Amino acid sequence: MANIQSQIKRNRQNEKRRLRNRDFRGAARSAVRDALASMATGTETPAAVLAAVSALDKAAAKGAIHHRNAARRKGRLLKRLNALGLQPKIAGAAPTPAAGAAATARARSAQQRHSARAEKAPTAGAEAKTKTEAKKTAAKTAAKKPAPKKATKK
């Protein structure tokens, strides 16, 4: 048992996180198990796979599992689904007009930010260039000067 206050608090936090992560990991495992069972029976397979993918994404987002672990498990599920000749119906796969307008607006605002940065950049870059050139010339002149010789006793 820890007797340092910070370690006692850390133990309490770790226990809360362990319980929370256990729920997310368990939900992901159950969803994957259900998806595999539906593949075996052939009933509502794409819906079950999408539910499993969603559970894995949620667990990865919460940090309960590593994002690469989630990606690997999703890839295996989708590979099996494709082997059965079924395609999951992914919501939002075809862009809607509203989504297209939002994407256009985001791109336009990104261009405006980029152009604003480009206008500011030359002055900052020129000042930085002169400072770096000054440092380089100072370094070159210092390198050209011979080091003073140490006086030795004779």
pLDDT confidence of residue 27:
95
Q: Is residue 122 part of a domain?
A: no
Q: How far apart are CA 56 and CA 52, in angstroms?
A: 6
Q: Domain range holding 64?
A: 13-83
Kindly report the pTM of this predicted structure: 0.55
Structural domains in the chain (count): 1
Residue-wise pLDDT for 66-87, tens only, equals 999 999 999 999 999 998 887 7
Q: What is the CATH number for 50?
A: 1.20.58.110
Q: Is residue 24 part of a domain?
A: yes
Residue-wise pLDDT for 85-96, tens only, equals 877 666 544 544
DSSP annotation of 2? -
Q: Is residue 93 part of a domain?
A: no
DSSP annotation of 154? -
